[in-house]
A and B are shown apart, each in its own frame.
Chain A
Amino acid sequence: MDLVASLSAHARATPAAVALAWNQANWRYADLDRAVSCVRDVLRARGVKSGERVALLLRNSPQYVAALYGTFAAGAAAVALNPLERAEVFARQIRHSGARVLVADPGHAEFERLRAMLHDVAVTLIAVPTPDVPDALEQFIAVLGAVPEASPVTRAGNSLALLIYTSGTTGRPKAVMLSHDNLVANARAIVSYLALTPADRGLCVLPFQFSYGNSVLTSHLVTGATLVIEDNLAYPLRSLQRMSDLAVTGFAGVPSTFTLLLTRCRLRDYDFKALRYVTQAGGAMTRTAIARLREELPHTQVYVMYGQTEATARIAYLPPEWLDAKAGSVGKPIELTQVEICDSAGQALPIGDTGEVRVRGPGIMLGYWEDPEATREAVRDGWLCTGDLGHLDTDGFLYIDGRAVEMIKVGAFRVSPYEVEEAIAQLDDVEEVAVAAMPDELLGQAVKAVVVLRAGAQLDALAVKSHCRQALATYKVPKVVEFAAQLPRTMTGKVQRLQLT
């Protein structure tokens, strides 16, 4: 049973159970199922065929969930656009994915600019606002309009369901292809180790368009549980109050989420008796921060986890009872999944040796969209080469020791230095540029750019940042821009990014 079938099953068995809780409205399972059918019918009526792509530009909202599952139900594949990006990136990804339809929120800050860029792209635009109002469901259905009910669509388990764009090591777009089987297997594994039941109410503030947020979403809906939706954490006190008021049982965060909460809020002032667990993934959190979190939330279990979009989301988790004995570990593989540590030739290394983490299991992606070469490099004989360095201990617990490639991690977002370099290199005054990570107290890492100007050029740091903001998501804009006479290079002329910081 795939995600759509299990949603329909819950809608029949417990129609009145709340599927999605937003500020002004609750969507019950029957409501969500109705909205999903409506999206499916509209897409089919617009001629969307099985396997075709439907791009979604919607913030975290019940409307996003309905559009995502409606796309699945239509047999099409959703392209989850990251709302933090800019119009240029959306247009590039829409072209690259060959999306037939774009479902977009006209309230998005980049909506008008994007629409102007789409004149030469054969894409049908369906504008769907995402108001947080009591009658959001009725408005959603009215906006989509009445169409005849579509005939049933059969979906093969191994067919494409979702494309998630990630930061590749080159400038070209890289989209992870996930199948219906990938999504449901990973969601079920998460349900199993978190012991989720229909009584659970998980709060998700993480963007649904990334694998972690998507896994929180799918694992709750596959169980018949309630997902409490937030679309930002700009006012953490308000989110915490809501968590307490709604007796939320689970909360998912990345290290910067917890840093924010531990820095600015007194968690122990709230009534979090119902909060059964919190999960943490998206990069290493310091032992001090984990200890503080446990101190502030004495009745709550803390799950440290590890994953990658290429593995749908989750690869490993540390059972909370092992937090002390195995401090620093990301735990053991999730069900039906195996982890190996290999040398660069792909040979398994002895216990304790550090090498590349490789993963096999039902969550491993189909590949990268229209990029067989990158797919061959990433997935070899069914094993995903994660690009992460790690080792296993004698009890089979995994430890992550670093990244094999030069990716910058801002909060939980992966930023490719190449993408930022390419954006800066577009400026006429720039002779050359190199981008690297710099330490950042809150986010772990931030982006730093070192720029070599052309002779006689006048360009200041603000102008470089301003240009980046036009072209890149805000979290990719360099926090520091420095100017230098030349870049540090190796004997062979390769730029040494590590020398920049």
Chain B
Amino acid sequence: MADALHDQIRAFILENYLFTADTSALKLDDSLLGRGIVDSTGMLEIIFFIEEQLGVKVKDEEMIPDNLDSVNRIAAFVESRRKAA
């Protein structure tokens, strides 16, 4: 399901790592690491994006693939943190 949050996350990754606005270039479930879309530094930038643009603080122990390795996982993580707040 793609809502505004999913769109925002996908747009960020498309613009910063795939350099395109074509949404078909990135599926919501694509592994960001497995497909070679981001590397270690890219993952750090995604964390900054989550913190600064989406307003959710990422704790050290939350920096795991389950929370960060696809658009869907990032969106689910952000939603759960926003609800908990």
Contact = CB atoms under 8 A, between A and B. Distances in A.
Contacts of A232: 33, 39-40
Pick from B35, B43, B61, B65 the residue with the most CB of A within 10 Å: B43
Interface in B4-49: 15, 17-21, 33-36, 38-44, 47
B63 interface: yes
B19 A260 contact: no
A237 B39 contact: no
A474 B42 contact: yes
B39 A475 contact: yes
Given A237-B64, A462-B20, A109 B40 contact: no
Interface residues of B, number: 24
A285 interface: no
A425 to B, nearest CB: 18
Interface string A463-497: 10110110000110100000000000000000000
Given A442-B41, A465-B19, A264 B60 contact: yes
Contacts of A468: 19
Contact of A235 (B15, B35, B63): B63
Contacts of A411: 41
Contacts of B34: 109
A237 B59 CA distance: 11
Contacts of A266: 60
Contacts, number: 63
B39 A234 contact: yes
Contacts of B68: 235
A462 B15 contact: yes
A171 interface: no
Nearest to A83: B36
A474 B19 contact: no
Contact of A469 (B18, B35, B44): B18
A264 B43 CA distance: 11
Contact of B40 (A260, A466, A477): A260
Nearest to B64: A235
Nearest to A479: B16
A373 to B, nearest CB: 35
Nearest to B58: A264
Given A264-B60, A265-B60, A234 B40 contact: yes
Pick from B15, B21, B41 the residue with the most CB of A within 10 Å: B41
A378 interface: no
A256 interface: yes
Given A462-B15, A466-B19, A233 B60 contact: no
B13 to A, nearest CB: 13
Contacts of B20: 462, 466
B39 to A, nearest CB: 6
A256 B47 contact: no
Given A84-B39, A232-B33, A234-B33, A264 B61 contact: no
Interface string A428-461: 0000000000000011000000000000000000
Contacts of A475: 39
A468 B17 CA distance: 11
A236 interface: yes
A238 interface: yes
Contact of A264 (B15, B36, B44): B44
A465 B16 CA distance: 9
Contact of A466 (B18, B33, B44, B65): B18
A260 B44 contact: yes
A237 B40 contact: no
A233 B65 CA distance: 12
A442 B65 contact: no
7 contacts: A109-B34, A234-B42, A235-B43, A238-B64, A442-B44, A462-B21, A469-B18
| 9 shortest interchain CB distances as A-B pairs | A466-B19, A465-B19, A109-B36, A233-B40, A234-B43, A234-B40, A237-B63, A234-B33, A469-B19
